[in-house]
Structure 1
Amino acid sequence: MKLYFMPGACSLAPHIALREAGLQFRLIKVDYKSRRTEEGDDFRRINPKGYVPALELKEGQLLTEVPVILQYIDMIRPDACLLPDAALERLKALEWLNYIATEVHKSFSPLFRPKTPEAFLSPGRAHLSLRLNVIERHLQQHRYLTGPAFSLTDAYLFTVCRWLDDQKLSIADWPALQRHSDDVARRQAVRDALAREGLAD
């Protein structure tokens, strides 16, 4: 398998997942500005959407979108217990994956755009903060998003929370979220993924 990534982007979540699952894979870096891979290929020919992550399977098929790739990794390594098995608990995990993707991750989008007017940035941060407040309240009662055990939902949450400092927001304003991120950061797979992407402290 090949994972196309940009350092620190949302592709960090499936990168962590692949390591947690103990799977063999190749990492291929994509340049943000040129959209060319480190091998010189036009990434848009590989993934017409033009953004990471993209996971190329052994058979040549391509999977995109973080929640889909995370579920695929869990599907091929069920013994790694990366998502809950029980039906209701699994649905709750998928609920969190969708919430992070559509409410948290998406809320960063206007903040990342260099041409977003300053007048829109403050309301954008406020909107994002409201979404994080929901997670904060949940984590005040639970170690991880799905309960006492780490799951791939936590890898995705950890990934997006790394962007807070760049948006003039401090994770310290959400103590339970801070504790969660610190906890996830201590996992060996996470440390290895960060080091490989050049993001280790």
Structure 2
Amino acid sequence: MKLYYSPGACSLSPHIALLEAGLPYDLVKVDLKAKKLENGDDFLGINPKGQVPTLVLDSGEVVTEGPVIVQMIADKVSGKNLAPARDSAERYKLQEWLTYINSEVHKNFGPMFSPVLADDAKAFFKDRVMGKFKYLDGALAGNDYLMGKQFTVADGYLFTMLSWAERMKFDLAALPNLLAYKARVGARPAVQAALTKEGLMKAAA
């Protein structure tokens, strides 16, 4: 498999999932502005959407959209419990979390990366994301992970969003459950390995 990624982008989520799954993969870096690969090839020829993450399976099939990719990865190693069993009530709960992170958190972050959006508009979206984080802080009370005691692919996605919040200087001091959760997920070896491979964290000496 090949994961097309950009360092620290939302492709960090499936990168974490691949490492948690222990599946073999190749990393291919994408320049999202130029829509080019490091070797100069046109990324749009692989994914016409021009977005990461993009996963190319060994069969040549191209899979896009993060929440779909991470579930596919989880299903390849069902014994690792990165996602509940298909058709189970717990699986639909996982999909609920993935959808919430995707539509309510991720999509409200997008405008804050815009170089042309005014600061007051960015502040509006920041307030919206903070509201979502407050909800998540409450949902995490008494839980190690979004699904309870078991780490799932939804946690890799939320961790990615929390890393964006850190980059953008969000003040999460009033959200202790969320801060403890970020530290807990961030301490996982697979998460540290993904950050190191993407150049976001120095390798341990």
2:190 paired with 1:193: no
Matched residue count: 201
Residue 55 of structure 2 corresponds to residue 55 of structure 1: yes
Over residues 1-60 of structure 1, what are the superposed CA-to-partner deviations in whole Å (9 max), with x where a residue is unaligned? Answer: 000000000000000100111100000000132121112211111100001000001111
Q: Name the structure 1 match of 2:136.
A: 135
Q: Which residue of 1 aligns with 2:108?
A: 107
Distance apart, 1:143 and its partner CA: 1.3
Where do 5+ consecutive residues of structure 1 fail to align?
A: none
Calculate percent identity across the aligned residue pairs. 44
Q: Which stretch shows the higher mean deviation, 77-86 or 189-198?
A: 77-86
Q: Distance in 1 between matches of 2:191 and 2:74?
A: 16
Matches within 5 A, 1:158-177: 158-177=159-178
Question: With structure 1 as the length reference, what TM-score do the two structures score?
Answer: 0.96
In structure 1, C-alpha distance between the alignment counterparts of 2:173 and 2:15, rounded to whole Å = 25
**What RMSD in Å do the two structures reach over aligned CA positions?**
1.2
**1:94 maps to what in 2?**
95
Moved over 3 A (4+): none
1:17 aligns with 2:17: yes
Q: Give the equivalent residue in structure 1 for 2:74.
A: 74
CA contact (8 A) 1:161 1:171 kept: no
Residues 134/37 of structure 1: CA separation in 2 closer, same or farther (3 Å cut): same
- Give SS of 2:4's match: strand
In the alignment, the residues of structure 1 paired with residue 192 and residue 122 of structure 2 have an alpha-carbon distance, to the nearest angstrom, of: 32
Contact 1:135–1:177 under 8 Å retained in 2: yes
Normalization by structure 2: what TM-score?
0.94
Superposed displacement of residue 199, structure 1: 0.6
